[in-house]
Amino acid sequence: PTPDQMLEAAKMVHGGAGVLYIVKNYSGDVMNFEMAADLARAEGIQVANILIDDDVAVKDSLYTQGRRGVGTTVLAEKICGAAAERGYDLKKLADLCRRVNINGRSMGMALTSCIVPAKGTPTFELGEDEMEIGIGIHGEPGRERMKLKPADEITEMLALSIIEDPEYTRIVREWDDEKGEWVDVELVDPPFQPGDKVLAFVNSMGGTPVAELYVVYRKLAEICEKKGLQIVRSLVGAYITSLEMQGCSITLLKMDDEMLDLWDAPVKTPGLRWGV
């Protein structure tokens, strides 16, 4: 979306307490959301921008500087949406969203590319016996191409890349209300540890049916148990997709009591529905 579209959306949802922009870490999105936030502030709307950068597959890609924003976005939207409904102020909401981001990690794979309508051709080519590991959600290729493997082996590759990912430190830009300017903020993602309670999210890239996703989830649950991670909640389905791409992604989010309570809060949307 363009900055003026984002501004109009902010005006429509603004109830006087401010607006939180949850931004996937893609260069164009980051730039446009910063511009939209500046425009909104000029019109008297308080705005916080929180970046989601949870993809452990690559440090930099065609569309990003740093890790891409993928599956944790959905989880942040649900948790922060429930918090906003409970009346969290904007600062507390932004702090919560930042905490969700630093505790979430994702990685995806693809068996096919996708066709962006404006282009009309696949964004990359894969042989019938090939797969792409570490893909993004904009049709970009991954970090590695290899021969197709059984589902359990694929799941293990993705899961261990997430679970064994070391501490990750980077600098992001956030708005400082007191200074009235954009400032650099250092964020540190802690690694997963035995005993952690996690939400396990297995996502279809668009063309993979739910039945096959549960094959992935079964193996993921087995790996988490072996690594000492306790799955306390799960989500399986097509929630963050790349058109018709066949493939999946895995997201693990370390949960605390507050995040768990907000995840369980009733929700009634086209994508998520429980407790109502």
CATH code, domain with 257? 3.30.1180.20
- In the chain the first and final C-alpha atoms are separated, in Å, by 31
Tell me if 252 is assigned to some domain. yes
Query: pLDDT confidence of 263, banded at 50, 70, 90?
Result: very high
Q: Indicate the number of domains in the chain.
A: 1
Which domain covers residue 153, as residue numbers? 3-267
Beta bridge partners of 110: 132, 247
Tell me if 273 is assigned to some domain. no
The whole-angstrom distance between residue 165's C-alpha and the CA centroid of its chain comes to 16
Give me the pLDDT at residue 121, please: 84
The backbone region for 255, taken as left when phi is positive above 0, alpha when psi lies in -120 to 50, beta otherwise, is beta
Give me the pLDDT at residue 141, please: 79
The whole-angstrom distance between residue 99's C-alpha and the CA centroid of its chain comes to 13
Collapse the DSSP code of 125 into the 3-class scheme (helix H, G, I; strand E, B; otherwise coil) and give the result: coil
Query: pLDDT confidence of 62, banded at 50, 70, 90?
Result: low
Tell me if 274 is assigned to some domain. no
Q: The tokens 């200074």 sit on which residue?
A: 179
Side-chain half-sphere exposure of 70, counting CA atoms within 13 A: 35
Q: 160-179 burial string, b = 16+ CB within 10 Å, else e?
A: ebbbeeeebebebebbeeee
Tell me if 275 is assigned to some domain. no
- Mean pLDDT confidence for 55-71: 81
Query: pLDDT confidence of 64, banded at 50, 70, 90?
Result: low
Q: The tokens 């979430």 sit on which residue?
A: 104
pLDDT tens figures, 158-216: 999 999 999 999 999 999 999 999 999 999 999 999 999 999 999 999 999 999 999 99
pLDDT tens figures, 69-98: 999 999 999 999 999 999 999 999 999 999
From residue 26, alpha-carbon distances to 98, 133, 246 in Å are 17, 19, 22
pTM, rounded to two decimals: 0.95
Tell me if 212 is assigned to some domain. yes
Query: pLDDT confidence of 1, banded at 50, 70, 90?
Result: confident
Tell me if 272 is assigned to some domain. no
Tell me if 229 is assigned to some domain. yes
All residues at 6 or more sequence positions from 224 whose CB lies less than 8 Å from its CB, including other chains: 159, 163, 198, 200, 230, 231, 252
Tell me if 241 is assigned to some domain. yes
pLDDT > 60? residue 63? no
Judge whether 138 counts as a catalytic residue: yes
Task: Quote the percentage of the chain above a pLDDT of 70.
Answer: 98
Give me the pLDDT at residue 118, please: 84
Of 67, 78, 138, 219, catalytic: 138
